[in-house]
Chain A
Amino acid sequence: AQSVTQLDSQVPVFEEAPVELRCNYSSSVSVYLFWYVQYPNQGLQLLLKYLSGSTLVKGINGFEAEFNKSQTSFHLRKPSVHISDTAEYFCAVSASGGYNKLIFGAGTRLAVHP
């Protein structure tokens, strides 16, 4: 069975600083990996996804993530954050074959301070 661990429940950072949100997964089969963002009082939005191919995946709003199979990680990064990036970020995994039945991590609250 798959599982996802987000190593930080909260990440405070100053505006224009770089940020990394950590995600580790476990799976005995090939996986698809996702990062979702949830802004206050809004639904989840897909930031980026890894299906196959290049291990560096670029998403919306300047975010990128790197798939590292040997370390079973899929960390999310942004070189310079904005106040508007303040949100809850969820890492998720699904088994190969489709987007169904996503297994989510507990979430990381990114708080960007001026």
Chain B
Amino acid sequence: SAVISQKPSRDICQRGTSLTIQCQVDSQVTMMFWYRQQPGQSLTLIATANQGSEATYESGFVIDKFPISRPNLTFSTLTVSNMSPEDSSIYLCSVARASNEKLFFGSGTQLSVL
């Protein structure tokens, strides 16, 4: 299994500011993913962050709004930039050791934007 530590667990932010969410894994993993879960909705994949390459963003998500770093095989960050109330969501990090192995999820970061 993989133990994922996601920080912060929750935050309340002002409109126009940015927040960086950290995802730390207790072992090396090939694949890391960032999901968003808006209130009352399902999880939506934001981007795939594999070490050594640029993050790949899903339709509707752009690097300027959600820059991602993946400096090594155990760590990644997601920044939510220039926040608005519509960005209020739970943001989840998930990892897999390989493309055909199970996903593990962090406990998420609950973000509220005022």
Contacts and interface: CB of A to CB of B under 8 A. Distances in A.
A99 B44 CA distance: 15
Interface residues of B, number: 24
Interface residues of A, number: 21
A43 B107 contact: yes
Contact of B103 (A4, A97, A102, A105): A102
A100 B105 contact: no
Given A105-B42, A107-B42, A98 B105 contact: no
A111 to B, nearest CB: 16
B48 A100 contact: yes
Given A100-B48, A101-B48, A104-B43, A43 B103 contact: no
B64 interface: no
B48 A90 contact: no
Nearest to B96: A99
A73 to B, nearest CB: 17
Interface of A: 4, 36, 41-46, 49, 90, 97-107
28 contacts: A41-B107, A43-B4, A43-B104, A43-B107, A44-B92, A44-B94, A44-B105, A46-B103, A49-B102, A90-B42, A90-B43, A99-B96, A99-B100, A99-B102, A100-B31, A100-B48, A100-B96, A100-B99, A101-B45, A101-B48, A102-B43, A102-B103, A103-B45, A104-B42, A104-B43, A106-B40, A106-B41, A106-B42
Interface of B: 4, 31, 33, 40-45, 48, 58, 92, 94, 96, 99-108
